[in-house]
Amino acid sequence: MEIDREDLVRRAQEAKERAYAPYSNYPVGAALLAASGRVYTGCNVENAAYPQSICAERVAVFKAVSEGDTAFSAIAVVTRDGGAPCGACRQVLTEFSPDMVVLISGDAGNVRETTAGALLPDHFGPGNLR
């Protein structure tokens, strides 16, 4: 599947604008490309009880799974400074697609590319439970 990297980053930037981040003031947006061709967006949603918050990447993945998509080609993540996904998000991304392209961008438009598996080498996955 062809990945329109610019469109994916643009959609993640738009999702970032909807973030609810009054505590960290660190809005994050994500746009996830499923193998079906659908794009699912997510933004971080914070809560005064911090453990109840959720990251943009996991919002996008969970939306996709709830709609029946479980195979992913790429995800774009946009923060103000190009911060990479947290450990919890890396685990969720590798659960579904260790080979998916991960585009990480800052507001300045600098985009770097990696894979979910490269972000979390030797990840724990379904094979460990067999």
Cα distance between residue 7 and residue 21, in whole Å: 24
Is the Cα dihedral 11, 83, 17, 57 positive or negative? Answer: positive
Helix, strand, coil abundance in the chain, percent, nearest 5: 35, 25, 40
**What amino acid positions are annotated as catalytic residues?**
57
